[in-house]
Amino acid sequence: MIQEIYLKRAANIRKEYLSTQNKTVDYEKSLKELVSLIDNTSKDLDDLLEKLNSNYVNDPEEAKQSLLKIFIDLEDEYNKTSKSIDNAEETIEKLKKQEIELFRDIKQRYPEMSDGQIRNEIQSYIDKLKLS
């Protein structure tokens, strides 16, 4: 039987994974907001172009400021969304490394156990904690 210290490490990895997975709803929402902003940006650019073509905006500086605002708003939203997704990817990569390290440690401590036996025992512990 695998010592509880190893099983707790596995449970902690699973908890963090589930937490990250639950946040995917938020990431999806952020991506939808970004897509919406891109659509709105396209409309804003069309509106600005129409204003320029109809000589509604005569001041080049005003046109430049309007254009910059449109692009800065888009860039800010993109950066926010990108950072969230990057953080999730980093967390998942960290968890993969922890999982590999844990498996290596268990295999070293219990060389007589097969990979399947190790997986089954860890899965049984995780199921007992209702982390499946």
Q: Please state, in angstroms and rounded to a whole number, the distance separating the CA atoms of residues 66 and 8.
A: 55
Range of the domain at 62: 4-128
pLDDT of residue 48: 87
pLDDT tops 80 at residue 58 = no
For position 79, what pLDDT does the model report?
92
pLDDT at 96 > cutoff 90: yes
Number of domains observed in the structure of the chain: 1
Which of the four pLDDT bands, split at 50, 70 and 90, describes residue 29? confident
Per-position DSSP letters for 3-25, written without gaps between them: -HHHHHHHHHHHHHHHHHHHTHH
CA distances from 129 to 15, 104, 125 (A): 10, 23, 6
Question: Taking Cα atoms as reference points, which of 46, 37, 119 lies closest to residue 78?
Answer: 37
pTM for the whole structure: 0.72
Cα atoms found within 13 Å of the Cα of residue 19, Cβ hemisphere only: 9
> Contact, 27 vs 84, CB < 8 A?
yes
Q: Compute the distance between CA of residue 128 and CA of residue 87 in angstroms, rounded to an integer.
A: 30
Confidence tier at 59 by pLDDT (50, 70, 90): confident
